[in-house]
Structure 1
Amino acid sequence: MNVSIIIPVFNERDSLPDLVHELEQNLKSYEAWEVLFIDDGSSDGSTEWITALCNKNPKFKLIQFHRNYGKSAALSEGFKAATGDFIITMDADLQDDPAEIGNLIAKLKEGWDLVSGWKKTRLDPLNKRLPSKLFNVVTRLMTGVKIHDFNCGLKGYRKSVVKSIDVYGGRHRYIPALAGQRKFKVTEIVVNHRARQFGETKYGGSRMFHGFFDLITLLFLNRYTQQPLHLFGSFGIGFLNMGLIVEGFVLYYKYVLGEPFSKHMALLMFGVMLIVIGIQFFSIGLLGELMARSTQGQENRVKKIHSQDTHHGLS
């Protein structure tokens, strides 16, 4: 069994020696493993320390960014590079306990596709716990994914999950929701959470608000990507109806009140403009529907090829 550990790193030099020691202790029972450090633009010596480690032990690997791109970008690159059958993500600040790796993998072996850690007892300051609790409640209600801690860095995945989801912007907070949208089986387990020993948290209150914008985007794309006509068609019909109502008033003035069109030319043109906008929205929806169907057909073919390859390999 192959295991890949993905760890985003941003200025965590003091935590790295203890982290690596704990990783080695908890991974030695696995036949094949790798640890991928994603250096997200560190400037405190983390890069140099990890580079020296990689030169000593090839099981540790480094992907280095030119500057700080954020956790989503770091995880995305880690997902691309990971070769393990099971992938574990965790933070580098020692708050995630490497001893939980075995528990995550055991849960994955039960048949789950994604296992999210739940820091039920959090050792964080109040100004971090309260926004996090609010964020998780809202996200759980809006996505329908029944877990308690979406933003926990400690998660376990099957390879099929990380190769199927697209993580960018701030979408790392919603990986369980992204997996749920693709019909992967998602669950959670309670994990040990430890107090930060070195450095300062990278979490700020503003991130919660940014996270809600990402959530709205995620829900919008999930609802309308495959059925764009539902969105653009609704706008189109709305504008078309408003235009027809306006033109109805113009006809009323002309044929009931006997007033010439020239007297209401501005209203006439406004109605025409609304009708044209409505037709354009509806046309965009139809075009989007054709594109969505084309993409869905390609996805179905890929799934079939993957299934055939899998069955062939097992025979």
Structure 2
Amino acid sequence: MIDLYSQTQMQPSLIAGNEPYPLDLSIVLPIYNERETIRPLYERLCAVVDGQGWNAEFIFVDDGSTDDTLKVLLELHERDPRVIVVAQRRNFGVGQALNVGLHLARGAMIVTMDTDLQVVPEDITLLLDKLNKGYDLVCSWKRDRRDPLVKRLQSRLGNLYVGMLTGVKLHDINSLFKAFRPETIEHFYFHGEMYRYMALMAHFAGFRVDEVPVVHHPRQHGRSRFGAGRIVRGFIDALTIVFIYRYGRRPMHVFGVTGLMMLAIGFLINLTLSLEWLAGVRPIGDRPALILGVLLMLMGGQFFTLGLLAEMIISLVQRGDIAVKNIYRNTARIYRRAPLSDKA
């Protein structure tokens, strides 16, 4: 077991030339209660990696499984030094699992994928081939989905909504099966369930994003954790990402403009009422518009002040006066053997 923040000696990668990555490929696999699929998944991963001659590692992040998932993973870890096992102390969610797994990744290219074998390791080559054509992140697109009709409709509507909101036109933006370059990781924001929008984060950071179709297989074991609540959370998360990446460094453009508009509308309402009162048209004490005008001015002032405070915080963070710390420290046990050596 090693410390999450320990450093390892870096060696040149076979794929990336002189870039400081000791391995060709890192495959990060969040897993929860999937003991039946672990061994066949591992065997297929090995077949793909060995067939391509890649120097790779398999980072399994057990997200607090309640079955024998961790036991099976540790058996594979003892047999194969390429298998790295991360045991979350409890079920923190896929976002936290990815956060830890990507922190450990040492490959010149990184793949994330589910462990239910609905997408298969054999399609990793499709993603990497596309990545090598000058892209920074490649999503998988399950063209012929083997899911219930309701789930397919929900996914299609969600992708349409995200495309209209952000301009990123992808068929399956929520798919975890992705390939990307390590440079993109620092731009990912995995709070809550925002890991589903890695493609959006990369796009807003200026990276090139594309997709490739892959074969989708029916689930053989376990059960899907897709539910109606995920739709609502996805709607909110997409809005949050748009706000963070478009206005995260200039919050005054949102709060300040909104506050000024509310102040202006409230002031005009109260000015109109005051002029009517001074002209003797009618009293203003019993008019609901007066309350509306006052509320708008108060809320406008609050929004404007909130924008100023947000700008001050952003300024302090950029200057380094406030340190943004990793809140996930010491939330997992990590099993990794001696660093892998490059292939001869």
From the superposition, tell whether residues 123 and 270 of structure 1 become closer, same or farther in structure 2 (CA, over 3 Å): closer
> Is the aligned partner of 1:50 residue 2:73?
yes
Distance in 2 separating the partners of 1:269 and 1:139 = 38
TM-score computed with the length of structure 1 as normaliser: 0.83
Higher relative contact order (CA 8 A, sep 6+): 2
From the superposition, tell whether residues 271 and 192 of structure 1 become closer, same or farther in structure 2 (CA, over 3 Å): closer
Distance in 2 separating the partners of 1:8 and 1:22 = 17
Q: Where in structure 2 are there 5+ consecutive unaligned residues?
A: 1-13, 15-22, 321-344
Counterpart among 37, 40, 51 of residue 15 in structure 1: 37
**Considering only aligned residues, what root-mean-square deviation do their CA atoms show, in Å?**
2.8
The aligned counterpart of 1:288 is 310
1:217 deviates by: 1.8
> Is the aligned partner of 1:150 residue 2:150?
no
1:56 deviates by: 1.6
The aligned counterpart of 1:6 is 28
- Report how many residues are paired: 296
The aligned counterpart of 1:236 is 259
Distance in 2 separating the partners of 1:294 and 1:11 = 43
1:115 deviates by: 0.6
Counterpart among 87, 112, 119 of residue 110 in structure 2: 87
Q: Note if contact 1:79-1:163 (Cα within 8 Å) is conserved in structure 2.
A: no
From the superposition, tell whether residues 66 and 237 of structure 1 become closer, same or farther in structure 2 (CA, over 3 Å): same
Deviations 1:23-78 (A, max 9, x none): 11111133421000010111110011101111121110111112212212211211
> Is the aligned partner of 1:198 residue 2:215?
no
> Is the aligned partner of 1:119 residue 2:142?
yes
Distance in 1 separating the partners of 2:151 and 2:298 = 50
1:257 deviates by: 3.5
Identity of aligned residues (%): 35
Q: Note if contact 2:61-2:88 (Cα within 8 Å) is conserved in structure 1.
A: yes
TM-score computed with the length of structure 2 as normaliser: 0.77
Q: Where in structure 1 are there 5+ consecutive unaligned residues?
A: 299-315
Partner SS for 1:78 = helix
From the superposition, tell whether residues 274 and 107 of structure 1 become closer, same or farther in structure 2 (CA, over 3 Å): closer
Deviations 1:54-108 (A, max 9, x none): 1121110111112212212211211111111100011111111101112211211
Q: Note if contact 2:140-2:177 (Cα within 8 Å) is conserved in structure 1.
A: yes
1:277 deviates by: 4.7
Q: Note if contact 1:86-1:156 (Cα within 8 Å) is conserved in structure 2.
A: yes
The one-letter code of the counterpart of 1:208 is I
Distance in 2 separating the partners of 1:182 and 1:105 = 21
1:278 deviates by: 3.3
Distance in 2 separating the partners of 1:272 and 1:211 = 36
1:226 deviates by: 2.6
Counterpart among 62, 70, 74 of residue 39 in structure 1: 62
The aligned counterpart of 2:246 is 223
Distance in 2 separating the partners of 1:48 and 1:269 = 65
Distance in 2 separating the partners of 1:236 and 1:91 = 44
Q: Note if contact 2:187-2:201 (Cα within 8 Å) is conserved in structure 1.
A: no
Distance in 2 separating the partners of 1:142 and 1:50 = 40
